[in-house]
Structure 1
Amino acid sequence: MEADSAVLDFVEVLYRVNRLLVDDARQHIAGIAELDVSEFMVLRAASRGAVSPAELTRQLSTHPSATSRTITRLVRAGLLQRISTTADARRLTVSLTDEGRRIVGLIARRIRPELQRRFDAIGPDRVTELLDTLHAFLRDGAPDSSEQ
């Protein structure tokens, strides 16, 4: 396979995978809450612990103003809370409320079976390799410090 062909195949496959995942997630999310996929992704990122808006922006590859608007909507919906750090009141983190944790759990339980079916068809070793490869791609090919 030529390099140009591989690059274009990669773009096409990622586009199709993205569409499949987003469309599937959108259906499952709509069955639980009035959220869009990007709002769920913010909630999912915050489910790992308190995080700053800047860190959410980096993790989700979004624009800071889009992240800020999403956080504001989720705070108003009672799913996220803003917390000022004691050392510097201007520094904020966000974390899930109890309702936010409940919603993330419900959505995750609906999304997992279909993805698990697909992962099972691929096999655990290939899934691990795929995830490692995609993480490396996102890091611009740089090895993860845990891999060294």
Structure 2
Amino acid sequence: MAASFELPPETPTEAVTLATAGFEEMQRFVAVTALGMCRAMALGTLSPAYACSRLLGPALLSRLEAMEVHPELRHAIHLATELEDVARLAPEALSGSLTEIEGKLLKVLADLPPPRSDDEKWLVTSRHQDE
């Protein structure tokens, strides 16, 4: 799984690619990223609409279901895809939903084999100069 973030083309850009190698490491990456988004939503620094449009949407859930990932990860992401609706329709339930999702994500992290210190890094950078 990889993501790329780039700056506007009018300046030299730093392309950042996040990638994982291996099935367990991909699950760890998704869990950690989703956990961070949940914390940011709980603190009010990201909106559920933003999180759902950037990561926690149906496309991620479909990919995870196709790969037969840890059931708690699949369930957590399924619940996370509904956070925008929860925030709009039952805002008083948002905190509880976030807590439930975070608990499932932490269980996934605890259940995965411990990461090896020689695993590939998630962050790969390359320098691009616009000419």
Do they fold alike, i.e. is TM over 0.5? no
Q: Which has the higher strand share?
A: 2
More contact order relative to length (CA 8 Å, sep ≥ 6): 2
| TM-score of the superposed pair, with normalisation by structure 2 | 0.37
Tell which structure's C-alpha radius of gyration is larger.
1
Q: Which has the higher helix share?
A: 1
